[in-house]
């Protein structure tokens, strides 16, 4: 019985040890502690833990953020900037409530994903507000310098961060890809400068420009912080703009501003695309408007999604499952009305349209072909897909397809003069056109010949018409001169023969001797 009592007391002591909390929060340190360390055991009897004690011992709270704005505020971690430029921008935004409303409502589709990514990387959540400064959260925005998307990537910088830019899509506008690239870039810049304000200045102005400005100040014995550097006006205002928006989000009531409710919940989810499929069909199967689909997938240029290049698209959260079920119900049905044709040789728009079985106007509109241009060989054109086509567009074409043009040569009807023993082939060779065209223009056979001086109908580039006219005029003068010369020679020959027969030493000319 005594032994049982001792075992019971030992069990109580062991349970008391398990009930203690780790005040340092360092689990690894706790595991390394000696079991004989009496500091880990309470000196008196156990009692229920109070809310105050729990808070004092740094136990995490279970109250979730009320909305996404609240969640974002909790992650603000950049040092605040407080100067006249910030106050000026606060006033600017606060006096434009309609603009702020449009901008924040537009952002509601994308902010949850951006905040999630920032938290996952351990980055300050106010960086989620940067697209307000860059593009007013418009993924279709394009600057005068050709920066595109809500994060405003230049073409070269986008390529550096693996944002594909081809005839079918521009990943600088893609919600997921551009956010990934922007946060990669900001992390890289922070690693270079060790300061978020300088990193933001470099995002706007370029890392080389900021590094040179710092070097100049260091050489002059001046400060090297954001406010110390000499920089363009746009970069000087860049961080103050972000700080102003941050201040408004932190305390909208102080600026008499009302932020739209953004739930702390994903707005969209990804769905897999395994076969080429029309954009309109995706929207229809998901039960949304095409405009809503394009708002979440703004990188897509064409009316079809090429699965080899875009294996996933974004759909509103509740519509994603609707799309999956409706797509499964279609079984083996054809999902794409369009495909890609790689032009084998440089050709006119009319010739390409004839090959594709569509009107020239439709081909131009679908592929963005400007007037007075030829389509260069190797260009990837979007064309109707035959009902019998089973293969989808290849990954190489989907990821690298481009379209290129060359100026169309303007031609005009003119006429040239045929020379002596001129043929259809020789005139075609002289003006660098096909013999078949020359024969067709003159309603002749390719093997036909022309009489000397005969007019030949030609369709020549404008720049060659003057040359052709000059050649024709010169040829006419040469022909006329040749005719006169022949006539004079004939007369001269009679006279000379007569004269020779009477004056030649040694008797008559040799002809006479025969």
Those residues whose C-beta lies under 8 Å from the C-beta of residue 128, and which sit 6 or more positions away, are 72, 111, 114, 115, 118
Catalytic residue among 105, 116, 117, 134: 134
Q: Which of 419, 414, 348 is nearest to 381 (CA)?
A: 348
Phi and psi for 454 in degrees, rounded to 5?
-70, 140
CB 239: neighbour CB atoms within 10 A? 25
* DSSP string over 327-394: HHHTTT----SEEEEE-SS-B-HHHHHHHHTS-HHHHHHHHTPPTTEEEPTT-EEEEEPPTT--PPPP
Distance separating the N- and C-terminal Cα atoms of the chain: 165
Confirm whether 408 is a catalytic residue: no
Instruction: Copy the structure tokens of residue 494.
Output: 């009679």
Phi, psi torsion values for 434, nearest 5 degrees = -85, 145
How large is the angle between the packed helices 84-94 and 97-107, nearest 10 degrees?
A: 90
With H, G, I as helix, E, B as strand and everything else as coil, classify residue 25.
Answer: coil
Residue 16 CA to chain centroid, in angstroms?
Answer: 62
Phi-psi region of 384 (alpha: psi -120 to 50; beta: other; left: phi over 0): beta
Which residue numbers are catalytic? 134
């Amino acid at each position: 019985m005594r032994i049982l009592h001792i075992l019971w007391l030992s069990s109580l002591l062991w349970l008391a040890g398990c009930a203690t909390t780790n005040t340092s929060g360092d689990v690894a340190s706790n595991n390394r502690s000696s079991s004989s360390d009496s500091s880990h055991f309470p000196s008196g009897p156990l009692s229920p833990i109070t809310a105050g004690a729990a808070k004092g011992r740094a136990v995490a709270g279970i109250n979730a953020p009320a909305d996404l704005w609240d969640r974002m505020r909790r992650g603000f971690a950049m040092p605040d900037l407080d100067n006249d430029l910030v106050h000026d921008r606060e006033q600017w935004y606060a006096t434009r409530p309609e603009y702020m409303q449009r901008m924040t409502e537009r952002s509601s589709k994308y902010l949850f994903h951006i905040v999630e990514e920032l938290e996952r990387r351990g980055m300050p959540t106010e960086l989620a507000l940067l697209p307000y400064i860059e593009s007013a959260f418009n993924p279709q925005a394009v600057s005068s310098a050709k920066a595109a998307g809500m994060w405003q990537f230049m073409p070269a910088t986008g390529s550096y961060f693996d944002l594909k830019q081809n005839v079918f899509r521009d990943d600088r506008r893609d919600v997921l890809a551009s956010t990934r690239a922007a946060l990669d870039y900001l992390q890289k810049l922070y690693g270079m400068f060790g300061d978020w304000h300088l990193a933001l200045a470099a995002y706007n102005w370029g890392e080389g420009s900021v590094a040179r400005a710092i070097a100049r100040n260091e050489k002059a014995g001046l400060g090297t912080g954001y406010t110390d550097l000499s920089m363009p006006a746009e970069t000087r205002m860049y961080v103050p703009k972000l700080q102003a928006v941050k201040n408004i989000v932190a305390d909208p009531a102080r600026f008499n501003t009302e932020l739209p409710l953004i739930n702390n919940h994903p707005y969209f989810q990804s769905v897999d695309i395994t076969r080429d499929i029309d954009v309109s069909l995706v929207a229809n199967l998901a039960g949304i408007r095409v405009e809503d689909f394009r708002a979440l997938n703004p990188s897509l240029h064409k009316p079809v999604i090429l699965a080899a290049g875009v294996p996933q698209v974004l759909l509103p959260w509740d519509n994603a499952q609707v799309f999956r079920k409706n797509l499964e119900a279609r079984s083996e049905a054809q999902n794409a009305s369009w495909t890609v044709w790689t032009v084998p040789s440089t050709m006119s728009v009319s010739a390409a349209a004839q090959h594709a079985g569509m009107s020239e106007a439709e081909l131009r509109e679908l592929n963005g072909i400007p007037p007075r241009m030829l389509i260069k060989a190797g260009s990837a054109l979007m064309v109707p897909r035959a009902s019998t086509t089973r293969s989808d567009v290849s990954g190489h074409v989907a990821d690298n397809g481009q379209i290129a043009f060359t100026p169309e040569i303007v031609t005009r009807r003119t006429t040239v003069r045929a020379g002596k023993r001129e043929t259809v082939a020789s005139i075609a060779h002289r003006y660098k056109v096909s013999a078949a065209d020359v024969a067709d223009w003159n309603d002749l056979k390719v093997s036909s010949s022309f009489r000397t001086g005969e007019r030949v109908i030609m369709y020549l580039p404008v720049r060659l018409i003057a040359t052709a006219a000059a050649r024709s005029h010169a040829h006419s003068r040469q022909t006329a001169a040749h005719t006169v010369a022949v006539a004079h020679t004939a007369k001269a020959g009679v006279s000379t023969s007569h004269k020779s027969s009477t004056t030649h030493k040694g008797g008559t000319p040799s002809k006479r001797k025969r």
